[in-house]
Amino acid sequence: MFKLAGLGGTFDHLHEGHKLLITTALNVAEQVVIGLTTDELLKNKKYASKLEDYETRKKHLIKYLKKISNLDRVSIVELNDPYGPPAHEKKYEILVASHETYTNAIEINNLRKEKGLSPLIIVLIPVLKEKNKKISSTDIRKNLK
């Protein structure tokens, strides 16, 4: 097991893809830091008017985390940029990402390299589908009334 994993996202309308991302991180690391995107960073997101606010998204994350793990293993931090603490802090060893966030994971390693830090191991979770369609918060927001 690794000591510290990082992951990040909007976690809007928490769904099975988000849950897989989180459980994967908990399965590979003793401690996990979840970067939760701030409302400010989401202003230009598709269907932004239907986004859950930061506190609601955080509350849903905590509720889910309580079901699956000891909260002492997890920290939730505000994510004010696309890269978060793993891009700048030496203590991270692993990054758990989805195919949607893979380019950010690569960029995080590029930023770490520029700072003389070791690259992170990147664990990619598969795309989850429901009724042969990718599960997506964007689609969930699109279909909200």
Instruction: Read off the pLDDT of residues 35-50 as tens digits, 9 standing for 90 and up.
Output: 999 988 767 766 667 7
Where do the DSSP E strands lie in 38-132?
Answer: 74-79, 94-97, 121-124, 129-130
Q: In whole angstroms, what is the distance from residue 138 CA to residue 80 CA?
A: 20
Instruction: Report the range of poorest mean pLDDT among 49-53, 90-94, 109-113, 120-124.
Output: 49-53
Strands 29-37 and 74-79: parallel
Question: Which pTM was predicted?
Answer: 0.87
Interhelix angle 54-68/16-28, nearest 10 degrees: 50
Instruction: Read off the pLDDT of residues 122-132 as tens digits, 9 standing for 90 and up.
Output: 999 987 657 76
What percent of the chain lies above the pLDDT cut of 70?
Answer: 84
Show the domains of the chain with their CATH numbers: 2-142 (3.40.50.620)
